[in-house]
A and B are shown apart, each in its own frame.
Chain A
Amino acid sequence: MIYLDNAATTRTAPEVVEAMLPYFTESFGNPSTIYSLGSASKKAVNQARKTIADALGANMEEIYFTAGGSESDNWAIKATAEAYAGKGRHIITTKIEHHAVLHTCQYLEKHGFEVTYLDVDRDGLVDPEQLKAAIRPDTILITIMFANNEIGTIEPIAEIGAIAKERGILFHTDAVQAFGQVPINVDEMHIDMLSSSAHKLNGPKGIGFLYIRKGVKIRSLIHGGAQERNRRAGTENVTGIVGFGAAVERAVRTMEERANKEIELRDYLIHRLETEIDYCWLNGHRTKRLPNNVNFSFLFIEGESMLIMLDMKGICASSGSACTSGSLDPSHVLLAIGLKHEEAHGSLRLTLSEENTKEEIDFVVDNLKQIVERLRSMSPLYEDFVKKNKA
């Protein structure tokens, strides 16, 4: 199997699993208890919290564990909207956010908030000037993703953070795809809240965190016990948190080497596809891009068909076609960067890891060439195109 869907999820690293195991068996105590069994769990949770805080240039009191990226996004947006509603009811986001942000914003629109959805350019970049122009006296929150999950484009986060800070507006970023892949410093980038999820960086599923800068007013989303400094109730997911800490420690330690390797493979893959397959192009920015993301549109063919044929060759990938989204509309991200529907239907996302090899990439390209050719041979769109060109 060749796994090229690391933006969907990653393999939990063996050292991460190793770190988690004792907390299922020997050290199973509830961190809220008084006896030493519980204290061991509490200590492990706080150690992970410290590792994560250090990775962001934050204080450990500013890291709040959640069940994942979606909960963190929901919490950051809903609970600050509620807490700051007295100041204003306007939120700014973009058209290319993850659904955890977009659908939360749409929910708030039904509850008396106004949301501006910023356009992006052909590469998926937000224009800071457009952001400035969208700010109103009643704007209380700017939420813009760090890097896009589909096309890999990295947004000008430091610039956006500086604008937010200057105008005194809270800035939240969904960094689910970026954290552990590219350097992030919450102070230098003026980030007030940041969402992350462990399973995108070789950690376990079902654990995430929300960074909340000290001083930010935020209500609870999950009410109950006094865990997470009274802000997020529920017995800590100790094994998950320990795994997250181990994954972050690993990600920080290997980031540079990993990124260099992935970028080399990524650019090799992009080059081969661009030069060896007709009527296709790269989606997303060429350099302001996650090290492991490749996203292409192949004209005249449809994504799900490509995925099934790749799967038959043992290759795991993803697409922005409607058939993979569960609706009849293709990816909102690809439409937002200006693709036509049929161009978005023919998209393919390949997201690498440091475990991939050049041989694997060659195998993928060689097979993809045949798959694209085969699907085009049975495509009425391609037939029309060829006939039109002959005429």
Chain B
Amino acid sequence: MYSEKVMDHFQNPRNVGEIENASGVGTVGNAKCGDIMRMFLDIDDNGIIRDVKFKTFGCGAAVATSSMATELVKGKSIQEALQVTNKAVMEALDGLPPVKVHCSLLAEEAIHAALWDYAQKNGIEIEGLSKPKSDISEGEEEEDY
């Protein structure tokens, strides 16, 4: 059901862990729908993401998208990190099953939430970043009986 890349990032997730005194921390998702992602960013004075870590409660796709998202933003500028969309995460993983697309949205949102936290802490505004939703959940399809 999962691509080889998804399985690789699930089995060997990159950048798992926490950053003490992180520049920005974002937590998105909720336990109700079964996925929670927390992203830690270490951003230097030039606005470059020096380090990134994550922790995720969720399925294989949730872990893999978090892992891939950290790889895509590491070493990038804030503006470049903002360009990392859920689509980019999915493509980098060679796709996701349709029911798991929301996991990639969560990964995008986790980056935004961590950047938002960084902006709040430093009293700055990041162009193109609005307050992220804390909860991403797709509307369930109506079943027909």
A327 within 8 A of B: yes
Contacts A110-B145, A328-B138: A342 and B58 contacting too (C-beta < 8 A)? no
Interface segment, one of A217-225, A228-236, A299-307: A299-307
Closest CB in chain A relative to B126 CB, distance in Å: 23
B37:A322 contact, CB within 8 angstroms: no
B11:A302 contact, CB within 8 angstroms: no
B32 within 8 A of A: yes
Contacts A110-B145, A328-B137, A380-B37: A342 and B32 contacting too (C-beta < 8 A)? yes
Cβ of A381: which chain B residues have Cβ within 8 Å of it? 31, 36, 57
**Cβ proximity bits B26-59 to A, threshold 8 Å, 1 near / 0 not:** 0100011111111000000000000000111111
Distance A326 CA – B17 CA, assembled complex (angstroms): 29
Distance A268 CA – B33 CA, assembled complex (angstroms): 33
Closest CB in chain A relative to B107 CB, distance in Å: 14
B27:A380 contact, CB within 8 angstroms: yes
**Cβ proximity bits B56-76 to A, threshold 8 Å, 1 near / 0 not:** 111111110000000000000
Closest CB in chain A relative to B127 CB, distance in Å: 29
**Cβ proximity bits A360-386 to B, threshold 8 Å, 1 near / 0 not:** 000000000000000001111111000
B145:A383 contact, CB within 8 angstroms: no
Distance A342 CA – B13 CA, assembled complex (angstroms): 22
Cβ of A380: which chain B residues have Cβ within 8 Å of it? 27, 36-38, 55-57
Cβ of A303: which chain B residues have Cβ within 8 Å of it? 59
B19 within 8 A of A: no
Cβ of B22: which chain A residues have Cβ within 8 Å of it? none
B140:A327 contact, CB within 8 angstroms: yes
Query: B interface, how many residues as a size bin?
Result: 20 to 34
Q: How many residues of A are counted as interface, with CB atoms below 8 angstroms from the partner's CB atoms?
A: 31
B84 within 8 A of A: no
Contacts A302-B34, A327-B140: A383 and B59 contacting too (C-beta < 8 A)? no
Closest CB in chain B relative to A383 CB, distance in Å: 6
B63:A305 contact, CB within 8 angstroms: yes
Query: Quick one: closest B residue to A323, CB to CB?
Result: B59
Distance A305 CA – B63 CA, assembled complex (angstroms): 8
Closest CB in chain B relative to A339 CB, distance in Å: 12
A341:B59 contact, CB within 8 angstroms: no
B16 within 8 A of A: yes
A106 within 8 A of B: yes
Contacts A326-B99, A378-B13, A380-B27: A345 and B34 contacting too (C-beta < 8 A)? yes
A378:B16 contact, CB within 8 angstroms: yes
Cβ of A8: which chain B residues have Cβ within 8 Å of it? none
Distance A379 CA – B31 CA, assembled complex (angstroms): 11
Cβ of A326: which chain B residues have Cβ within 8 Å of it? 99
Distance A88 CA – B41 CA, assembled complex (angstroms): 64
A106:B31 contact, CB within 8 angstroms: no
B59:A302 contact, CB within 8 angstroms: yes
Cβ of A327: which chain B residues have Cβ within 8 Å of it? 140
Contacts A305-B63, A378-B63: A345 and B55 contacting too (C-beta < 8 A)? no
Closest CB in chain B relative to A171 CB, distance in Å: 24
Contact for A342 among B18, B31, B61, B102, CB less than 8 A: B31
**Cβ proximity bits A111-149 to B, threshold 8 Å, 1 near / 0 not:** 000000000000000000000000000000000000000
Distance A116 CA – B56 CA, assembled complex (angstroms): 39
Distance A382 CA – B54 CA, assembled complex (angstroms): 13
Contacts A328-B34, A342-B32, A383-B18: A304 and B145 contacting too (C-beta < 8 A)? no
Closest CB in chain A relative to B4 CB, distance in Å: 13
Cβ of A329: which chain B residues have Cβ within 8 Å of it? 140
A292 within 8 A of B: no
The 8 closest A-B pairs by CB, nearest first: A342-B31, A323-B59, A304-B59, A380-B38, A107-B145, A341-B32, A345-B34, A380-B55
22 contacts between A and B (CB under 8 A): A106-B145, A305-B58, A305-B59, A322-B33, A322-B34, A323-B58, A323-B61, A328-B102, A328-B137, A340-B31, A341-B32, A342-B32, A342-B34, A342-B57, A345-B34, A377-B16, A379-B56, A380-B27, A380-B38, A380-B56, A381-B57, A383-B55
Besides A305-B63, A308-B10, A383-B55, 17 new A-B residue pairs in contact (Cβ under 8 A), listed by A number: A106-B145, A301-B57, A302-B34, A302-B57, A302-B59, A323-B99, A328-B137, A328-B138, A341-B32, A342-B31, A342-B57, A377-B16, A378-B54, A378-B56, A380-B37, A380-B38, A383-B18
